[in-house]
């Protein structure tokens, strides 16, 4: 008798801006690894994490460091389609969904809290 492997709800919680520290890139690498394990993957951006999705980043040209912003647009190809950004975090930083380099579901702070509470595993930075 074989059992189906358990699918868990994973949430990757991004709260840090992209280039000042390595956190954002490390979380992105975790997300790409997780795509291999057929889990129910969710990716959320809140607080300074919303800056990770800002259009027009030219980190390679400016700082000669990896421009990983592009990689968010490739997540779709790995079956990772559940991306969320918190409305209040965007507004506090003068951003709207139009400023983002990938389509996301914009959710309220309250809805973000409920999303977090509904997960089996939360990995954050």
Partner 1 sequence: MLHTVNKSPYERRNLDACLERAVKGSTILLYEDAVYAALAAGGFAPRMRQAAQDFEICVLGPDLQARGIQDAPLVEGIRTVDYTGFVELVAAKGTATAWL
Q: Per the structure block, which two tokens stand in for 104? A: 């996301």
Rounded Cα distance, 51 and 24, in Å:
10
Is residue 119 part of the contact set for partner 1 (CB under 8 A)? yes
Q: Examine residue 120 and tell whether it contacts partner 1 (CB under 8 A).
A: yes
Q: How many CB atoms lie within 10 A of CB 88?
A: 15
For partner 1, the binding residues in 45-64 under the rule CB under 8 A are 46-47
Please report whether residue 121 would count as binding partner 1 according to CB under 8 A: yes
Q: Which one-letter DSSP state was computed for residue 36? A: G
Only one residue has tokens 């930083």, namely 93
Q: Of 28, 23, 85, 31, which Cα lies nearest the Cα of 54? A: 85
| Total residues interacting with partner 1, rule: CB under 8 A | 17
Q: Which range, of 51-59, 75-83, 91-99, 109-117, touches partner 1 by CB under 8 A?
A: 109-117
Query: What end-to-end distance do the CA atoms of the chain give, in Å?
Result: 40
Site string for partner 1, 71-100 (x = CB under 8 A): ------------------------------
DSSP state of 120: S
Question: Considering the rule CB under 8 A, would residue 106 count as an interface residue with partner 1?
Answer: no
Chain positions contacting partner 1, by CB under 8 A: 13, 15, 23, 46-47, 109, 112-114, 116-117, 119-122, 124-125
């Amino acid at each position: 008798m074989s059992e189906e492997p358990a699918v868990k709800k994973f949430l990757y919680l991004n709260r840090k801006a992209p280039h000042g520290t390595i956190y954002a890139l490390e979380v992105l690498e975790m997300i790409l690894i997780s795509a291999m394990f057929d889990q129910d993957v969710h990716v959320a951006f809140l607080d300074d994490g919303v800056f990770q999705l800002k259009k027009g980043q030219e980190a390679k040209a400016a700082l000669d460091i990896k421009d990983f912003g592009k990689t968010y647009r490739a997540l779709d190809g790995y079956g990772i389609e559940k991306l969320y950004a918190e409305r209040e975090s965007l507004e506090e930083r003068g951003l709207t969904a139009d400023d983002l380099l990938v389509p996301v579901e914009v959710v309220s702070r309250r809805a973000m809290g409920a999303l977090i509470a509904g997960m089996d595993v939360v990995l954050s930075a």
